[in-house]
Structure 1
Amino acid sequence: MGIYGTKMYIVVNNSNLVYVTAAKTAKVLKAITLNQPRSVVFYKTNAFVTSYNGTVSVIDTATMAITKTITVGSSPEQMVVANGKLYVANSGGLDYPNFAKTVSVIDLTTLAEIKKVTVIANPIAVTTDSYDNVYVLSLGDYDKVSAGMTIIDDKTDVVKTAPTVSLGYNVPIYAQGDFVYYPTADNKIAVYNSKTQTSASANFITDGTVITTPYAISGDVLTGEIFVADAKDYSSAGTVTAFDKNGKKEYVITAGISPGKIALINK
C-alpha cells in the first residue's frame, strides 16, 4: 500500500490486482490487473509495481494506465527510489532453494535497468537515507547463508559494507532522520545510525513494551514518532503501536490479521 498525492495504491498479491483508490475515502477508481504484484513506490508522474514474474510495471499516475514493463530479476519484492534511480530487491522467492542475490538498478530517466548489484541471498526489503546509502535486508537461504544487511552507495552502485546484524524471518526496514529501524531475531527494533554508519541501539523501545511479531515499521517525520505493526500469531487481530521519538509507547490501535503496511495521510 502506498499513498501518492490524492491517490492510494493497494497491491493485492494473490488476486493479481492493484487497486487505485481515493486516498481519503478509499473509493476505488480503478483496478489494474498484474501478475502477482508485490510492492509499489512512486517517482514524479509514475507508480512502479513489482510482479513475481520478474518485472516492474510503470503506471502513469494521471491516467492509471500501464505505460511500460521493465524486466528485472527473479521474484522482485520491495523497491526504493534514490539518486534518480530505482533499486529493486530480486528475491528469487519462487525459485527456492535457489534464491536470487541481486538488486536491479533502474535509471528513472530512461526507465531501463542499468545494472544488477550482488547482495546477500534472498533480498526482500530496502530503504534509503539522506547520506547516499541504500539498505537491503536479505533473508538468506534458511540454511547455510544467514540473513543480513547490505549497504549500497547510490552514487556508485557499489556495495560499501555488510554490517553484522541479527535478523528474524520478518524484515521490514524504515529510515527516518539519521536512523534506520529494523526488527531483530529476538523481535526487538534495532537502530542503525546512518550518519556515522554504526549501530545506535539494540532496541529502540525503551519502556519495556513487547512487540511479539514485528511486521511493518513506519514513522512521522513531523513528530519523530515511529509506528510498529505487530502480526502476533498471524491468525488473530494484530496491532499498530505508536512510539515517541524516545521509544516510549503513546497508544495502540487494533488492526486486522497480519498488518503488513503503514501509510500516513494528512487530514
Structure 2
Amino acid sequence: MRNWIFILLVLSACRKSGTGSSSSEATHVTDDTHQTSFYLLNEGNMGLNQTSLDEFIGLKGDYRLNIYGETNPTIVKEMGDVGNDMKIYGNKLYAVINGSDRVEVMDKYTAKHLGEISVRSCRYISFYNGKAYITSFAAASGTTDGAGFVAEADTTTFQVTRTVTVGRQPEEMAIVGNKMYVANSGGYTVANYDRRLSVIDMSAFAVIKTISVAVNLHHVKADGYGNLYVTSRGDYTNIPSKLFIVSTATDAVTDSLDLGVSNLAIQGDSAYIISVQWSNTTGTNTVSYGIVNVKTKSVVSNKFIQNQTITTPYGIAVDPVTRDILVTDVKDYLLPGTLYCFDKTGAKKWSVTTGNIPSVITFIQ
C-alpha cells in the first residue's frame, strides 16, 4: 500500500510541475502600453489535461499565467486536453480542445466559461455569417475511407447544426468570399497522405470541388489579394515541406516557394514564417525563418529575428498595431515554454515564461 501511495504522490507532483504555473499573478514584462492585448493558448501534453490560457494586458504591459482556472473555479478539469486552435468572434472567445472533443466558449473580455460545442477530434475553427465551423479528424458518418468532416455550429446555442464530409484528417481552413478551403492532411495514413484542398460552397454547405496541392497539408492563410498560402509538411523523408500559393479566382495552384513551413502569420503584405523540419533520415530538426512578400509572391528575407535564442519555435503572431512579432518556444515540449516579443526590426523587446507548449495567440480587438 505504501508503494502505491508513493507512486500516486510522485505522479501528482509531476503533473503539477508540468502545468507551468497554477497562479494568474501578473508579471510586468514591458512599459510599452501601445501593444495589443492578447490571449495565448498553451496546448499542454496529451493525456494530462494541461491546456491553459494566459493573457497579456497591453495597457499595463502585464502578463498573467493560467487565468482560466481562477476565472472558472467550478470547472473540474479546467480547459481539458490538448488545445489546438483559438479565435475570437463577436464577444466570444473560442478554444478548440482536440483531446477533449470540445470547443470551449468563453467571454471575450473575462474568459468566463459560457458553454461548449461538442465535436469529436476537433482541430481548427473559423467563422462565417454568425456560424462557427470546426474541422474534425473523426471519420464522417457513412464513410469507410477515414474521411473527416467540417461541423457547422450555432454561436448562440452552441449546437452543431450541419456537417459536411471532406478529406482525410482535415486541418486548418480559410474562408474567402462564399467559399471555404480546407487543408486535408491524411496524417493517420503515412504511406498515403492526402494532398487536396476541399472547396466548400458556404450557401449549400457542400463540397463543390477539390484542388490537388501536395502531400500532408496543414495551414491555409488568406492574403489581401485573393490568394491562399497553403503549407505542406512533406513526408519527413523524401518530400520536403513547401509553401504553395492558390488563387481563389481560379481555384488552382499558381506558385510555390521552396520554404519549409511549420507555421505562418500574415500581416499586411508580409507573411512571417517559422519552420522546424524533422527528418526521419537524420533524426534531427532544422530550424529556419523567412518573410514572404504576398503582393509579389517572393521571399524577401531568410530571417526576422536578431540574436537568435529560440530552441523550438512553434506559434507566431504579429501585433496589428505595433507590428511586433510574437514567437513561442516550446523547447523540449515537456517544461513550461517561453514567449518572445521582437520589434519589427527583429530586436528582442521582452520574454516571459508560459504554460506547456505555448501555441496560439489571439489578439483582443
SS of equivalent to 1:260: strand
Distance 1:84 1:253 in 2: 40
TM-score (norm 2): 0.69
Residue among 346, 353, 357 paired with 1:254 = 353
Distance 1:84 1:179 in 2: 25
How much does 1:152 deviate? 0.2
**Number of residue equivalences:** 262
Instruction: Please name the residue that 1:200 is paired with.
Output: 300
* Residue 34 (1) aligns with residue 119 (2): yes
Correspondences of 1:90-109 after superposition (within 5 Å): 90-109=184-203
Correspondences of 1:63-212 after superposition (within 5 Å): 63-167=157-261, 171-184=262-275, 185=277, 186-205=286-305, 207-212=306-311
* Structure 1 residue ranges, 4+ long, deviating more than 3 angstroms after superposition: none
Asked if structure 2 preserves the Cα contact closer than 8 Å seen for 1:126 and 1:173, the reply is no
More contact order relative to length (CA 8 Å, sep ≥ 6): 2
* Residue 47 (1) aligns with residue 132 (2): yes
Residue among 142, 146, 152 paired with 1:58 = 152
> Given residue 7 of structure 1, which amino acid in structure 2 is its aligned partner?
K
Asked if structure 2 preserves the Cα contact closer than 8 Å seen for 1:188 and 1:211, the reply is no
How much does 1:216 deviate? 1.0
1:86-108, CA deviations, whole angstroms, 9 ceiling, x for partnerless residues? 11110011222211101111122
TM-score (norm 1): 0.93
Question: Would you tell me which structure has more helix in proportion to its own residues?
Answer: 2
> What 5-or-longer segments of structure 1 have no aligned partner?
none
Residue among 334, 342, 345 paired with 1:235 = 334
Distance 1:42 1:244 in 2: 30
Counting aligned pairs with the same residue, the percent is 39
Asked if structure 1 preserves the Cα contact closer than 8 Å seen for 2:265 and 2:271, the reply is yes
How much does 1:190 deviate? 0.8
Instruction: Please name the residue that 1:8 is paired with.
Output: 93
SS of equivalent to 2:188: helix
Distance 2:224 2:352 in 1: 30
Distance 2:157 2:184 in 1: 28
Distance 1:108 1:220 in 2: 30
Distance 1:64 1:89 in 2: 24
1:173-206, CA deviations, whole angstroms, 9 ceiling, x for partnerless residues? 111110111113442321111111110100011x
How much does 1:62 deviate? 2.3
SS of equivalent to 1:192: strand
How much does 1:44 deviate? 2.4
Of stretches 82-91 and 256-265 in structure 1, the one that deviates more from structure 2 is: 82-91
> Given residue 191 of structure 1, which amino acid in structure 2 is its aligned partner?
I
> Given residue 194 of structure 1, which amino acid in structure 2 is its aligned partner?
V
Instruction: Please name the residue that 2:344 is paired with.
Output: 245
Residue among 9, 15, 18 paired with 2:103 = 18
**For residues 210 and 188 of structure 1, do their structure 2 counterparts lie closer, same or farther at Cα, with a shift above 3 Å needed?**
farther
Asked if structure 1 preserves the Cα contact closer than 8 Å seen for 2:243 and 2:260, the reply is no
How much does 1:140 deviate? 1.1
> What 5-or-longer segments of structure 2 have no aligned partner?
1-85, 139-147, 278-285
Asked if structure 2 preserves the Cα contact closer than 8 Å seen for 1:84 and 1:108, the reply is yes
Distance 1:219 1:111 in 2: 32
Task: Supply the RMSD in Å over aligned alpha carbons.
Answer: 1.4
Asked if structure 1 preserves the Cα contact closer than 8 Å seen for 2:133 and 2:152, the reply is yes
Instruction: Please name the residue that 2:30 is paired with.
Output: none
Say which one has the larger Rg: 2
* Residue 265 (1) aligns with residue 364 (2): yes
